[in-house]
Structure 1
């Protein structure tokens, strides 16, 4: 007899390859705001020009490295999977987290597409459960997959016995 309890394991599916471009642009935009702010602050201070320039160059190098490395690393790590019994997720880049939510614990399933995600035809699916740990988020899905996933999880959760608490 097999154990019906889902076991924590690596999920099978990667997110959309477009997530790499999305995460790259998202990081670049955030770093641009930081660099402009730092440049304005440096221009308004009385510190020597050499220290200001060195600080801005260091910040720019960190920004470029983060913008190049982080999206590819996240893509290599981020995974998801659904089965009739559970939803599996794996996310992060420095700190990596694997989570599992039994279908019987699902309370809501949502999809979100911010303006930048819409540009890249991506979506984030959020599965809210009765867990104190919080919802499971699957970011970087192509929009069509996200829509199918929301429909599938909603149907499976409605069919599951109990009240998801």
Structure 2
């Protein structure tokens, strides 16, 4: 899914740069600009999803939810079960096409929710159930 998302974005950028090069660039430089746009966008479309996959991690223990995500700016988050307020599932059209789901764990934190992307739907459903059960076992009101 990340390959398709990044590929579509890179294609849009490559077409835009190509059109700009054809309309604005001098004749000799024009095709070099088009070629450079295609090479850069193709490289991004291949490298970024693999890089994201290598960084993207999550784990649930009895006490907390751990996430790590990002490709350029990487983020690690830990949310104690006592801070979990809601667990939501979401599927965009592309994710639905691939049978993937995003789990969003809303916490009592100013940093915002934790997101676990790209889970197979059955895994996401089981994770949401597990997080809900574990959060219910913890004393307190998650504030």
TM-score of the superposed pair, with normalisation by structure 1: 0.80
Structure 2: how far apart are the matches of 1:139 and 1:39?
A: 32
Q: How is 1:12-161 mapped onto 2 (pairs within 5 angstroms)?
A: 22-45=1-24, 47-161=25-139
Structure 2: how far apart are the matches of 1:62 and 1:36?
A: 12
Structure 2: how far apart are the matches of 1:119 and 1:62?
A: 27
Misfit runs of 4+, over 4 Å: none
Deviations 1:73-131 (A, max 9, x none): 21111111111210001112232221100011011111111111111111111111111
Structure 1 residue ranges without an equivalent (≥5): 1-21
Contact 2:103 2:117 in 1 (8 A): yes
Contact 2:104 2:116 in 1 (8 A): yes
Is 2:112 aligned against 1:162?
no
* Number of aligned residue pairs: 143
Higher helix share: 2
Query: SS of 1:153's equivalent?
Result: helix
RMSD, aligned α-carbons? 1.4
User: Greater relative contact order: 1 or 2 (C-alpha under 8 angstroms, separation 6 or more)?
Assistant: 1
